[in-house]
Structure 1
C-alpha cells in the first residue's frame, strides 16, 4: 500500500485539511528561511499538536544544527526527520546517537550515479526528488530501478500523474506539496483528492 505525505504545511487551516483527508505523513519545513513554506520551532510545535493521531509529523531540515533536529524528535513534536540539505554520513551518525526516531534523506536525481549515491545512505528512508525542492517539476522516473528499500517519490506529483507515478516507479510513499496549492496556499479540496486517489489505487480501483 502506497503511503502519502503532504508537505509544506504552515497554517492551522492546513492542519484541519489534512486531518480531514488523513494522509500518512504531514511535512513541515522548519527554520529554512529561504522557503516560503518555512515555519519556526514554535510554530511547528503548535501545528503538530493539532494533528490527528494517525498522521505522523515529519520535519524537513536543511543543514540544521543537530540539537534543533534532535530536540523536536525527542520532545515528541516530530515522528521523523527529513534531511534535505548536504548532510553526510557523519551528520547522520551523530544524530542517531541523540535520537531513536527514523531518518529520511532526500536526494536530487538527475543521473544513475545520483541513484547509486542515494543507495549509500544509512537513513531509514530515501526521498528521490528532482532537485531544488518545491518547483513542481518531475525527474526522469526511468532512472529509478526496482529498489528493495523503502523510498518516497517527490517532485512534480499531482492529480495528472500520481497514478502513473505509483504504477511505474512503485514507491513506498509519494510526497506532494506545490501541486496541492492554490494561490500559494494549501487547498483542502486538492489535498482531499490526492489522498483519495492514492487510497483508491491501494484497493485496485
Structure 2
C-alpha cells in the first residue's frame, strides 16, 4: 500500500509513489491509504493512478469514499474506544454499502494503524463482506489468524519492520510463507 498520510512514518509523496508504480509487476494493483483527506488530494493522486484502490482510515462518509468511482476499502477500528464502547462491526459495515471490503485493525488512541497491537480475533462476528485482517500481525501469529478467520487478505506494516518505516526482507519472506502454509491447510 501507498501511504498518503504525512503524520505516518510510512508516508510517501507522489513522486516516490510514481517510482514504485513504475516497477510494480503486471497485474499488481496498488492501494492508496488516506486518513480524512481533502477531495483534491485524492483527485491529484488518481490523475497518476487511475486504477488505484482507495483505503480510508478516518471518519470519511460513505458518500465521500464512493464519490471517486473507484473500489474502496474502509478501515474499522477494533477493540475498545476511549469511551469503552466496542464497535458494532455489522452496523459500521452497513454505513458503507458500496465498500469493496473492510479492513479490521487495532484501535489505539491517537493512532490510525501501524501500532503493532493485536486485538481479540474472536470478537469478529460472522461476516458476509470481504474482510482484510490487520493489527499486530507478524510471522509468529499470521498463520493462526488465517486459519481462524479465513480473511480475504491480511494487511501488515509494523510486524515486518526492523525500524519504523523500514521493512525487514527476512520477516517479509517468513510472513508470506506462513500465510501460504495456513491458506493451504484448509
The TM-score by the shorter chain falls in which range? Answer: 0.7 to 0.9
1:69-148 correspondence to structure 2 within 5 Å? 69-73=42-46, 75-76=48-49, 78-95=51-68, 99=69, 101-110=70-79, 113-120=87-94, 121-122=96-97, 123-131=99-107, 132=111, 133-148=113-128
**Residue 86 (structure 1) shift:** 0.8
1:77–1:94 Cα change, 3 Å: closer
Question: How far is the alpha carbon of 1:159 from its aligned partner?
Answer: 1.1
Instruction: Using the TM superposition, give the Cα deviation of residue 92 of structure 1 relative to its aligned residue in structure 2, in angstroms.
Output: 2.2
The structural deviation recorded for 1:127 is 0.5
1:138·1:155 contact (CA, 8 Å) conserved in 2? yes
Deviation for aligned residue 1:162: 0.6
8 Å CA contact 1:57–1:77 kept in 2: the answer is no
Structure 1 position 203 matched with structure 2 position 181 = no
How many corresponding residue pairs? 174
User: In the alignment, is residue 34 of structure 1 matched against residue 10 of structure 2?
Assistant: no
Write out the 4+ residue segments of structure 1 that deviate beyond 6 Å after TM superposition: none
The TM-score with structure 1 as length reference comes to 0.77
SS in structure 1 at match of 2:30: strand
Once the two structures are TM-superposed, the CA of residue 117 in structure 1 deviates from its matched residue by: 3.2
Unaligned runs of 5+ in 1: 1-26
Indicate whether 1:44 and 2:17 are aligned. yes
1:161 lines up with 2:135 in the alignment? no
CA distance in 2, matches of 1:76, 1:110: 33
Deviations 1:144-200 (A, max 9, x none): 112111010000001111111111122111101101011331011111111122122
Structure that is richer in strand per residue: 1
Q: CA RMSD in A?
A: 1.9
Which structure carries more relative contact order (alpha carbon 8 Å, separation 6+)? Answer: 1
Q: Equivalent residue of 2:125, what SS?
A: coil
- TM-score, length of structure 2 as denominator length: 0.84
**Alignment gaps of 5+ in structure 2:** 81-85
1:55 CA displacement: 2.4
Aligned to 2:174: 193
